């Protein structure tokens, strides 16, 4: 290895891109180094479900060859890992579930296609809560992921494997998905940057669906700059996803230089109510002070219905999931019960064996809220409240450019601590769910530590204002170095 390029795993995606371009190291060297890193820490973190070492090395060689031939694709030779619900052709795509434990996808998700087309090298698939249902990564059939900051703690979820891998300096960037906070919350709990774009910004085609009207693909990185780089590749209209939006994709990296000065930042009173741990509140307020110092204006805004977001979410999301997960019936792919006596037995045993407790709980909740006689009281009412919450945000954004506050109510909690109490677990997403219900972009940025554990600052913008929140996050990262502080165990 060339002098000065050891510990490549600590480099940002942006720096690695420059290093590859300048010939400081090859994609093969980089890939080998990261694969070793994955291997060294898999037992401790359990961040990966599948590692595609051989294919990655082949890709890396191809990328090096392409570069020698003048290929300057944006991500050529750079590493990427996918949350294990992005379909990857010829590679296991499990969704963290037994029911897909044998599922090798015959096609690539649009996100995978785009990132591959930009030249990236896939290193593997990351662990996650089963079907993205969970906030702690404990519902995975493949076992929980542990937090790089403390192995007894959860990294959050559902994109826990992606967050842990990035936080532990194993990879610089990972994809994730966020239905109620599944990118932002684990980012907050691991001290990484987690970006959930506007609903419709990134194609959902090839992302195994949890709740179709809420799911959105995004990224986990260590810097807003890397998030901007990766989002630029992933974003854009896809005719295979009717809900993707044909909206121009700006140069997110170029947009990062926009100063904080003059930015109007909305503060939501409810975000600082009881429930927010004191240490988190202190760090978030300190972050807001930094932004204010830099010339932003802090304005209190009202989201009168935001307290209803958790109950609303836990009607809408299970309703959609109960239908989305019906296709896992043992007939065409995935787990299938042995020796079924008849059709009903095939269905019941396949699904009882294949789905874990949390997934079953949500399927049952969703089935219930859609049932005749309950539909109006639950699903329809939830949709109406969802509209109200959207309108609240819309109104708030008439006066402010972004809304800032905590990403999660506490720092990382212990594995096993909340598994018996789903309601407490669900409350972990209390600050993040609003953005999903309203389809808004949100980002979590590390803003310090409480009792030695990372705290996240969340910035939410209006539809398609990824540039604004990325720029604000980037400027904040120019003023602070929280994101540069990794867990000692992995330094």
Partner 1 sequence: MNDNWEVVIGLEIHTQLATKSKIFSGASTAYGAEANTQACLIDLGYPGVLPVLNGEVVRMAVKFGLAVGATVAKRSVFARKNYFYPDLPKGYQISQYELPIVENGELTIRDEDGREKRIGITRAHLEEDAGKSVHEGFGQATGIDLNRAGTPLLEIVSEPDLRSAKQAITYMRKIHSIVRYLGICDGNMQEGSFRCDANVSVRPRGQEKLGTRTEIKNLNSFRFIEKAINFEIERQIEVLEGGGDVVLETRLYDSDKDETRAMRSKEEANDYRYFPDPDLLPVELDEDFIEYVRKSLPELPDAKLGRFVEQYKLKPADAEILTLSRALADYFEEVAENTEAAVQVAANWVIGELAAALNSEGIEISDSKIEAAALAGLLNRIADNTISGKIAKEIFDAMWSGEGGADDIIEAKGLKQITDASAIEKIVDAVIEANPGQVAEYRGGKDKLLGFFVGRVMQESGGKANPGQVNEILKKKLSDG
Q: Is 343 in the site for partner 1 (CB under 8 A)?
A: yes
CB closer to partner 1, 343 vs 414: 343
Q: Is 370 in the site for partner 1 (CB under 8 A)?
A: yes
Nearest-angstrom CA–CA distance, 74 and 230: 9
Which residues are marked as active site?
83, 158, 182
In the structure encoding, which two tokens stand for residue 81, read together? Answer: 């890992």
Query: Smallest distance, Å, CB 336 to partner 1?
Result: 12
Q: Which of 323, 360, 478, 485 binds partner 1 (CB under 8 A)?
A: 323
Q: Which of 319, 385, 427, 443 binds partner 1 (CB under 8 A)?
A: 319
Q: Which of 297, 367, 390, 485 binds partner 1 (CB under 8 A)?
A: 367
Q: Is 204 in the site for partner 1 (CB under 8 A)?
A: yes
Strands across the sheet with 453-460, in order?
48-51, 121-126, 79-83, 173-177, 217-221, 193-196, 442-450, 453-460, 402-406, 264-268, 297-301
CB closer to partner 1, 328 vs 490: 328
Task: Show contacts with partner 1 in window 71-100 (CB under 8 A).
Answer: 85-87, 93, 95, 100
Q: Which of 7, 289, 331, 479 binds partner 1 (CB under 8 A)?
A: 331
Task: Show contacts with partner 1 in window 224-243 (CB under 8 A).
Answer: 239-243
CB closer to partner 1, 184 vs 351: 351
Query: Smallest distance, Å, CB 126 to partner 1?
Result: 16
Q: Is 372 in the site for partner 1 (CB under 8 A)?
A: yes
Query: Smallest distance, Å, CB 331 to partner 1?
Result: 5
Using CB under 8 A, which of the segments 27-35, 198-206, 258-266, 461-469 binds partner 1? 198-206
Q: Is 207 in the site for partner 1 (CB under 8 A)?
A: yes
Q: Is 206 in the site for partner 1 (CB under 8 A)?
A: yes
Give whole-number Cα distances, 374 to 67, 302, 315, 319, 378, in Å.
59, 31, 11, 12, 6
Q: Is 437 in the site for partner 1 (CB under 8 A)?
A: no
CB closer to partner 1, 297 vs 387: 387
Q: Which positions lie near partner 1, rule CB under 8 A?
A: 85-87, 93, 95, 100, 103, 105-107, 109, 204-209, 211-213, 239-243, 319-320, 322-323, 325-329, 331-334, 343, 347, 367, 370-372, 375, 379
């Amino acid at each position: 290895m060339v002098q000065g390029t050891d510990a490549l795993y600590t480099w940002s995606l942006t720096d690695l891109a420059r290093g590859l371009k300048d010939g400081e190291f090859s994609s093969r060297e980089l890939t080998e180094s990261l694969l070793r890193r994955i291997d060294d820490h898999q037992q401790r973190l359990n961040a990966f479900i599948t590692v595609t070492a051989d294919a990655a090395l082949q890709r890396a060689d191809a990328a090096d060859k392409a570069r020698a031939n003048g290929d300057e694709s944006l991500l050529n030779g750079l590493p990427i890992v996918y949350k294990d619900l992005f379909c990857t052709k010829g590679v296991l795509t499990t969704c963290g579930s037994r029911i897909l434990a044998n599922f090798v996808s015959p096609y690539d998700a649009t996100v995978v296609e785009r990132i591959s087309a930009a030249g990236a090298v896939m290193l593997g698939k990351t662990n996650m809560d089963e079907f993205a249902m969970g906030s702690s990564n404990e519902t995975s059939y493949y076992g929980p992921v542990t937090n790089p900051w403390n192995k007894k703690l959860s990294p959050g979820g559902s994109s826990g494997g992606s967050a842990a891998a990035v936080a532990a300096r194993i990879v610089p960037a990972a994809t994730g998905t966020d239905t109620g906070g599944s990118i932002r919350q684990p980012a907050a709990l691991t001290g990484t940057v987690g970006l959930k774009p506007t609903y419709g910004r990134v194609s959902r085609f090839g992302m195994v669906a949890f709740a179709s009207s809420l799911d959105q693909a995004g990224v986990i990185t260590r810097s807003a700059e890397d998030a901007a780089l990766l989002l630029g590749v992933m974003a854009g209209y896809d005719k295979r996803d009717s809900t993707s939006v044909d909206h121009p994709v700006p140069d997110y990296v170029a947009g990062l230089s926009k100063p904080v000065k003059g930015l109007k930042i909305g503060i939501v009173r409810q975000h600082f109510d009881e429930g927010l741990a004191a240490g988190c509140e202190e760090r978030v307020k300190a972050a807001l002070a930094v932004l204010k110092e830099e010339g932003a204006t802090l304005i209190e805004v009202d989201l009168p219905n935001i307290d209803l977001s958790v109950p609303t979410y836990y009607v809408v999301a299970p309703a959609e999931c109960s239908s989305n997960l019906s296709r896992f019936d043992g007939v065409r792919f995935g787990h299938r019960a042995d020796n079924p006596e008849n059709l009903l037995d095939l269905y019941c045993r396949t699904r009882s064996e294949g789905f874990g407790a949390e997934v079953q709980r949500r399927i049952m909740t969703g089935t219930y809220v859609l049932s005749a006689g309950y539909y109006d009281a639950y699903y329809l009412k939830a949709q109406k409240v969802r509209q109200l919450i959207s309108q609240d945000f819309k109104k708030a954004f008439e006066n402010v450019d972004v809304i800032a506050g905590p990403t999660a109510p506490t720092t990382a909690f212990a594995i096993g601590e909340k598994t018996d109490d789903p309601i407490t677990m669900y409350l972990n997403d209390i600050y993040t769910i609003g953005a999903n219900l309203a389809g808004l972009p949100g980002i979590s940025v590390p803003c310090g530590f409480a009792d030695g554990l990372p705290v996240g600052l969340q910035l939410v913008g209006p539809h398609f204002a990824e540039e604004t929140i990325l720029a604000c996050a980037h400027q904040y990262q120019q003023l602070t170095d929280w994101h540069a502080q990794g867990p000692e165990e992995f330094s």
